[in-house]
Each structure stands twice: as structure tokens, then as C-alpha cells.
Amino acid sequence: MPIDNRAARVRDQIEMLASVSEHHQYVQRTFCSLAAKLANDMVSGWMHAAGLKTRVDNMANLRGVLPGNNPQGRVFVMGSHLDTVIDAGKYDGPLGVLLAIDQAARLEAGSLPFDLEVIGFSDEEGVRYHSSYLGSSVVAGCFDQEQLSLKDAKGVSMQQAVEKFGGDVTKLSKDQIPKDKFLGYFEAHIEQGPVLEEKNIPVGVVQTINSQERVEIKVQGVPGHAGTTPMMIRKDALAGAALMIAEVEQLAQKDHENMVATVGKVDVFPGASNVIPGNVNFTLDLRSPNYERLSTFSKKLQQIFSGITQKRGLTYSWNLIKTNKSTPCDDQLTQILSEAISQAGYPVQALTSGAGHDAVAISNLGPVALMFIRCKNGISHHPDEFVATEDIGAAIKVCDVFFDKLSQQMQ
Ligand code: GLV
Ligand code: MN
Ligand code: MN
């Protein structure tokens, strides 16, 4: 099939998948939701049509295998995630899964010297449990079982959600790809930033993915009557949390080494206009190209939080949900990707990823490579996210050369 037709098919699939949502007004597919199940069904149909043998594993990951020419051969994985943020764009995650299925459709079963496994990971964004890479960390064998007791906003534990979806949490280790079987991982993803557009290049090659820390902060004060409690004796958890959140932004602004810090979710309890807030929970997302710098920032923030809460008679807890160092992409796979980009007729633009990707978790198994695809105005995590069909075509062209080169080198 000509590349233009393949790109149009991927674009149409992107549109169809975007209609699968938990919400009727915007795109939202969180871990183990009904929308996630419907998305798995839809994408599994496309996997079948591409000749893949599919299954949903115990962590809700959708997996399809195209067997290679050697039954003892190793497995090369291409994929990305099918979950989304709230009020999401259409391309973040799905584009990488659909490009992988497009490759499988092009390649014949038995033609590669390795098995090709296409994976639509069940959770990369971490919206439901605030902890990211749930799907890929099971595949990579680095899932922390303690996370199964985390609860979502409705009090449903991760274990309950997985079981309701049809998974068996006692069998998660069986879904890991054994390290000695793993050959490598390739992910294609929208850039989610402006560099490729500024340089007028359709694709780029990622060198490293920045380090990240996710934390949940719980601030405790004393609730009380909004009309009768004098200002000087209040222990208002929200007034304290507001100062803490402002410090997060100020401290990151003072950092000149690309440290970014975000509070994206705040819950106030009991949450009534005439009650002084007794408890506030908020999330913290910290990222930096330099993990040591991130750790120093994190410690400094804890000191500042202690100062603010002590002064106001509040208490707080700092619950580390997840931390990971910067992830370098593999030299050899990145070299093959760069050559593929060049051979497809595009300049080779190196990039750093400020966003997290399933490649971070999968790097625990072995080599990973990551290609970025230009998006409009660098917008992502927003419904205006957009990738031109011509750029999808450019990515397909690169993927074709990448897999042809990879299979030659692995003979
Ligand atoms: C995923 O998009 C992330 O970087 O949080
Ligand atoms: Mn995302
Ligand atoms: Mn993503």
C-alpha cells in the first residue's frame, strides 16, 4: 500500500479512537476504565487485520505478536500507550501504537529474524492513580506490587480496578518479557514541544528522557466554622497549601537549568464555602535533565514546606509516588534510527524529551529508541494537539527503513 494511503489509514484510526472516551465532551481514557476496554477492543481489531496474534495481559496492556523466522528468536517491541490525560489530544500515545500496527501490516509473518511485539500500554499518564508507567513497568518487570493498594478518587484500589478489568494480579510477573528474550524497543511519539516545527523538520531522534518525580502532599489543619472562628486562631490547610504551591513555582523559576515543577491537582476537604478547610491534598510533578539537581530541588522544597506548615500550626506529609533518573536512549538503536531518518530524506535533529514515555520503564529490560514527530504549535495534553497527515507519512517512511535496517543487522 502506498505510504500516503497508510498515513491516511493511521489518521482515520486516530479519529476513530478519539471517539472512545469516558466523557462525552472530551477525550479521556484512564487506566482500566470502560473506555480503556473499548479502546483495546477497537485496536485489537486493527491488530488482527495486520496479522498479529493478540491478547490483553493481566495489567490491561493490549499485546499483538508477529512471529519471526526463528522460534527461538528474541522479541523486538514497538508501541506506546492507549490511555490519555483528561481533556486530551488524539495523538499522544495512540500515534505510536498505530504506527507500530502499520509496520506489522507491512511486514510478513516469518520475515523478520525476531518476533515483533506491538504493545498498546494501559497506563503511561498516571491519571487515575497518579503513578505513571503502570502498563510498561509490568512488561519490564519493574512494577512495584505495593502500588496495587493505591486508591483512585472514588476509593477503588488499583488491585480492584485490575481485577474488574479481567486481570489477575498474582500473575503479573508472567507478563514480563524475560530479559534474555528482549532485543529492544522502539517508540514513535508526538514531540509535544515546538523544536521540530521551528526547524521545519517532520521527525527527530531523542537522546535522553528527563528525570521525574511524582509526589503526593497532604496538608492537615483544623476545620471550623467560617463565620465564627477568629482569623488569628485558624489552622487553615488551604491557606497554607496555597503558599506552598506558590513556592513550588517560585523555586522552579529561580532554577536556570530547565527544572520544571507542576501542581496539577488539588483536593480540598471538606470542600464547602462556609467551612475552613481542614485538609488539602495536592500532587507535585518535578522534572529535570539532571537527576541530582531534581533531588536537591525536592529536598529544598521539603524544607520550605516544613517552615510554612510549622509557622501556621499545620502538619504535612510528603508521599513519594514515583521517581526515575534520566533515561538515555541506546546508542546502537539510535544510530540505526538516525540513519533511517537520513535515508528517508530528512535532516537528523537530536532532541531531549521533557515528557515521560513508556520507553523509560522498558529501558529496565534493555535498549530503547525514541522518535518524535512534529506537532502543531508544540501543543499537547490539550484537545488542539495536531499532527499533519504528511508528517505521519514521514514517520512511516522512517519506520520502514528502521525495520529493514534492524532486520538486516540482526540476521
Ligand atoms: C506524560 O505525558 C508525561 O510526561 O507526564
Ligand atoms: Mn501524555
Ligand atoms: Mn505520551
- Judged by its nearest atom, the ligand closest to the C-alpha of residue 97 is 3
- Which residue among 27, 86, 121, 125 is best mutated to probe the pocket of ligand 1, counting the most ligand atoms within 8 A of its Cβ? 125
DSSP string, 47-82: HHHTT-EEEE-TTS-EEEEE--S-TT--EEEEEEE-
DSSP string, 332-397: HHHHHHHHHHHHTT----EEEE-S--HHHHHTTTS-EEEEEE--GGG--SSTT----HHHHHHHHH
Please tell me if the CB atom of residue 88 comes closer than 6 angstroms to any atom of ligand 1.
no
The owner of cell 523478520 is 112
Please tell me if the CB atom of residue 356 comes closer than 6 angstroms to any atom of ligand 1.
yes
* Nearest atom of ligand 1 to the alpha carbon of 355: 4
The owner of cell 531518518 is 341
**184 Cα–ligand 1 center, Å:** 22
- Residue 223, classed as helix, strand or coil, is coil
Instruction: Please report which helix (H) or strand (E) contains residue 405, including its range.
Output: helix 389-409
- Judged by its nearest atom, the ligand closest to the C-alpha of residue 96 is 3
Please tell me if the CB atom of residue 245 comes closer than 6 angstroms to any atom of ligand 1.
no
**222 Cα–ligand 2 center, Å:** 36
Residue partners of 314: CB distance under 8 A and separation at least 6: 219, 220, 221, 235, 237, 240, 308
Q: What is the DSSP letter of 218?
A: E
Q: pLDDT tens across 132-180, in order? A: 999 999 999 999 999 999 999 999 999 999 999 999 999 999 999 999 9
**Strand ranges, E, within 155-259:** 182-190, 203-209, 211-220, 224-225
Please identify every stretch of the chain with a pLDDT value under 70, giving residue numbers as ranges. none
Q: What is the DSSP letter of 32?
A: T
The owner of cell 473499548 is 38
Cα–Cα distance for residue pair 94/216, rounded to 1 Å: 28
- Residue 274, classed as helix, strand or coil, is coil
Q: Can you name the residues that pair with 213 across neighbouring β-strands? A: 286, 323
**280 Cα–ligand 3 center, Å:** 29
**123 Cα–ligand 1 center, Å:** 11
**252 Cα–ligand 2 center, Å:** 21
What does the pLDDT read at residue 410? Answer: 83
What does the pLDDT read at residue 71? Answer: 87
The number of beta carbons lying within 10 Å of the beta carbon of residue 129 is 22
Domains and CATH numbers, the chain: 3-209+326-409 (3.40.630.10), 211-324 (3.30.70.360)
Cα–Cα distance for residue pair 250/315, rounded to 1 Å: 22
- pTM, two decimals, is 0.94
Cα–Cα distance for residue pair 361/134, rounded to 1 Å: 9
- Residue 244, classed as helix, strand or coil, is helix
Please tell me if the CB atom of residue 125 comes closer than 6 angstroms to any atom of ligand 1.
yes
**125 Cα–ligand 2 center, Å:** 6
Quote the distance between the C-alpha of residue 267 and its chain's center.
23
Q: pLDDT tens across 109-126, in order? A: 999 999 999 999 999 999
DSSP string, 93-157: THHHHHHHHHHHHHSPTT-SSSEEEEEEES-SS-TTTS---HHHHHHTT---GGGGG-B-TTS-B
Cα–Cα distance for residue pair 8/189, rounded to 1 Å: 17
Going by C-alpha positions, the residue among 293, 295, 299, 354 that lies closest to residue 327 is 354
**321 Cα–ligand 2 center, Å:** 18
What does the pLDDT read at residue 257? Answer: 81
- Which residue among 129, 132, 353 is best mutated to probe the pocket of ligand 1, counting the most ligand atoms within 8 A of its Cβ? 132
* Nearest atom of ligand 1 to the alpha carbon of 124: 1
What does the pLDDT read at residue 6? Answer: 98
Please tell me if the CB atom of residue 62 comes closer than 6 angstroms to any atom of ligand 1.
no
**120 Cα–ligand 2 center, Å:** 14
* Nearest atom of ligand 1 to the alpha carbon of 354: 4
Please tell me if the CB atom of residue 355 comes closer than 6 angstroms to any atom of ligand 1.
yes
* Nearest atom of ligand 1 to the alpha carbon of 381: 2
Q: Is the dihedral of CA 410, 357, 43, 102 positive or negative?
A: negative
Lookup: cell for 115:
518476533
- Judged by its nearest atom, the ligand closest to the C-alpha of residue 353 is 1
